[in-house]
Amino acid sequence: MKKQIKVVGAVIKNDQNQILCALRSPEMSMPNYWEFPGGKIEKNEKPEEALVREIKEELGCEIAVSELVEDVIHEYPNIIVNLITYEAKIISGTPVANEHAKIEWKEISVLKELEWAPADLPTVEKLII
């Protein structure tokens, strides 16, 4: 049986309605794919709490989590990922790519041009509608 993990991702918008996109570094699994920043949900942690913690660790800023965007189960060759994405806004700090190769603010209209991790694609589809 494949290992299953629950992860969260933040759809962070700025005042120009751009989305913060993160490029997975060569050291990460699935390198060089774009994703919404976030990470694993720890035991006894609510998804929203995990997202606040992960963004603080990964990007060094504080966010406010709002509405659920998408809840996806994606089966990769060696793992099953349950990715839950939420809309979020930065309330303090400036995002820095501590773990990712880079982070960039992108217009919603160009999101489809990026090579996204497969589990993130349903969220991208939902945003561009």
Residues 64-81: tens digit of each pLDDT: 999 999 999 999 999 999
Q: Which distant-in-sequence residues (6+ apart) come within 8 Å of 25 by Cβ?
A: 31, 99, 100, 101
Q: Domain holding 27: CATH number?
A: 3.90.79.10
How many CB atoms sit inside 10 A of residue 82's CB? Answer: 16
129 pLDDT band, cuts 50/70/90, is: confident
Average pLDDT over residues 31-51: 96
- DSSP state, residue 42: P
Domain that holds residue 107: 3-128
Number of Cβ atoms within 10 Å of the Cβ of 110: 12
CA distances (Å), origin 123, targets 21, 61, 77, 94:
12, 22, 21, 24
Please tell me the predicted confidence (pLDDT) of residue 1.
78
pLDDT of 101 above 80: yes
Q: Are 128 and 105 a contacting pair, CB within 8 Å?
A: no
Residue 62 has pLDDT above 80, yes or no: yes
pLDDT at 30 over 90: no
The total domain count for the chain is 1
Are the CB atoms for 62 and 56 separated by under 8 Å?
yes
CA R_g for the chain: 14
Supply the pLDDT for residue 35.
98
SS3 85: strand
For range 12-37, the mean pLDDT: 95
Q: In which band, very low, low, confident or very high, does the pLDDT at 29 lie, cut at 50, 70 and 90? A: confident
